[in-house]
């Protein structure tokens, strides 16, 4: 398929998808919101946004997208574009569910802060005092690690032991837990989130199968979110779309971080399944308040760790620090909060400005989502339409 053909197909799917939005959103966009102001006081007509998305999809050959845009603290745009799986006529619509990947982490961080407010744990108490980590008992450095360090990526743990093994000279078999860097130094880690989830499960009398029920009760239900799935639900049999790598479908298997992972156990670092509208509701809670105190929310959105100046994120994404579960980037228009997600065949991203309550979230069933995210960020922030 050449670029012209893929562009035409994506535009066609975009037109089809526009008819699949909920009536509530259609009414909001067609009768109330016809344009969205950017951070530099430009305005983006809804029709221009539609064309931008379909053009990007065509150029990047992204099969399907779920996108939501927030303006003035409200969801003003929600679209589902494209197809659920290449080679089929299954449309990706508002009922479709995608993998949020690492966008799972900010939701879990929010939940941890709720538990801290209730006195279940202290953010600065070493986690081993709540629940030991037997695999690390020979490396006492792990006794320094706190919830704050986990949520700000300074635990020193590897991202995932199976995919980020220790250097060969350390003679640590692949799949064995180890400490990658000195606790207190920045190193992005899903493994650390997994440990903290076990601690929370232990403290609340749950396990990794039932912790999702508590998170649903404390986070998504009060926000009115109906589309957060942390473990398998029978409705996902028909609702989950297929992931894609290099343009080919890789199916709908449940994502795994460990060989023995299964879909009935929660994965707080990368296994949330949802769509853009539901996740946008969560972002609005971060902008407007919600069930966290103002002091906890400020702490979540304040620098807790510094990103190395020679890192890819600092040099290429402008990220200078992490709050609790969220990356922080200074811009001429105020602080831009952001997070990306990458499960291979599913990629996702969000950003928002709390001062203007402007932002977006998207999820793609494609390995080209990072490129789309970069373009969408500049488009929504300052109206710049990057060439795909």
Q: What is the pLDDT of residues 63-121, one digit of tens each?
A: 999 999 999 999 999 999 999 999 999 999 999 999 999 999 999 999 999 999 999 99
3-99+235-255+272-312+336-382 CATH fold: Beta-lactamase (3.40.710)
Within 13 A of 229's CA, how many CA atoms are on the CB side?
21
DSSP 242: P
Q: Which residue has the higher pLDDT, 10 or 261?
A: 261
Q: What is the rounded CA–CA span in Å between residue 81 and residue 40?
A: 28
The pair of structure tokens assigned to 85 is: 């799986």
Burial class (CB in 10 A: 0-12, 13-18, 19+), 162: middle
| Residue 212, CA distances (Å) to 123, 219, 272 in order | 21, 10, 10
- Start-end of CATH 3.40.710.10 domains in the chain: 3-99+235-255+272-312+336-382
Query: 3-state DSSP: the chain helix, strand, coil percent, rounded to 5?
Result: 35, 20, 45
List all residues 6 or more positions away from 342 whose beta carbon is below 8 Å from its beta carbon.
101, 102, 348, 369, 370
| pLDDT tens track for 248-278 | 999 999 999 988 889 999 999 999 999 999 9
Helix (H) or strand (E) holding 5: helix 3-18
pTM for the model: 0.92
For residue 348, which of 328, 326, 370, 327 has the smallest C-alpha distance? 370
The confidence band for 32, taking pLDDT boundaries of 50, 70 and 90, is low
User: What value, to the nearest 5°, has the Cα angle with vertex 219 and ends 96 and 263?
Assistant: 50
């Amino acid at each position: 398929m050449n670029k012209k053909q893929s562009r035409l197909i994506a535009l066609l799917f975009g037109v089809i998808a526009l008819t699949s939005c909920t009536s509530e959103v259609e009414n909001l966009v067609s009768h109330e919101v016809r344009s969205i102001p950017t951070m530099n006081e430009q305005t983006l007509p809804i029709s221009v946004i539609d064309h931008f998305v379909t053009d990007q999809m065509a150029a990047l050959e992204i099969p399907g997208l779920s996108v939501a845009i927030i303006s003035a603290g409200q969801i003003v745009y929600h679209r589902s574009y494209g197809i659920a799986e290449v080679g089929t006529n299954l449309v990706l619509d508002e009922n479709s569910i995608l993998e949020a990947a690492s966008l799972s982490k900010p939701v879990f961080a929010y939940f941890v802060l709720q538990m801290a407010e209730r006195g279940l744990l202290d953010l600065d108490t070493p986690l081993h005092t709540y629940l030991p980590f037997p695999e690390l008992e020979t490396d006492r450095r792990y006794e320094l690690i706190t919830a704050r360090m986990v949520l700000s990526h300074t635990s020193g743990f590897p991202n995932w032991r199976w995919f980020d093994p220790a250097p060969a000279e350390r003679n640590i078999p692949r799949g064995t837990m180890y400490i990658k860097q000195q606790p207190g130094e920045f190193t992005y880690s899903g493994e650390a989130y997994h440990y903290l989830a076990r601690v929370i499960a232990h403290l609340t009398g749950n396990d990794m199968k039932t912790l999702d029920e508590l998170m649903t009760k404390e986070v998504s239900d009060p926000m009115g979110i109906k589309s957060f799935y942390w473990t398998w639900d029978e409705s996902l049999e028909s609702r989950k779309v297929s992931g894609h790598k290099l343009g080919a479908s890789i199916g709908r298997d449940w994502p795994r971080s460990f060989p023995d992972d299964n879909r009935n156990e929660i994965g707080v670092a990368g296994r949330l399944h949802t769509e853009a509208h539901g996740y946008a509701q969560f972002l609005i809670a971060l902008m407007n308040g919600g069930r966290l105190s103002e002091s906890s929310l400020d702490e979540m959105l304040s620098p807790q760790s510094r990103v190395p100046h020679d890192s890819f994120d600092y040099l290429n994404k402008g990220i200078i620090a992490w709050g609790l579960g969220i990356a922080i980037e200074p811009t001429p228009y105020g602080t831009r909060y952001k997070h990306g997600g990458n499960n291979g065949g599913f990629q996702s991203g969000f950003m928002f400005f709390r001062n203007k309550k402007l932002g977006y979230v998207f999820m793609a069933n494609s390995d080209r989502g990072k490129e789309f995210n970069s373009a969408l960020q500049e488009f929504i922030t300052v109206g710049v339409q990057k060439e795909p």
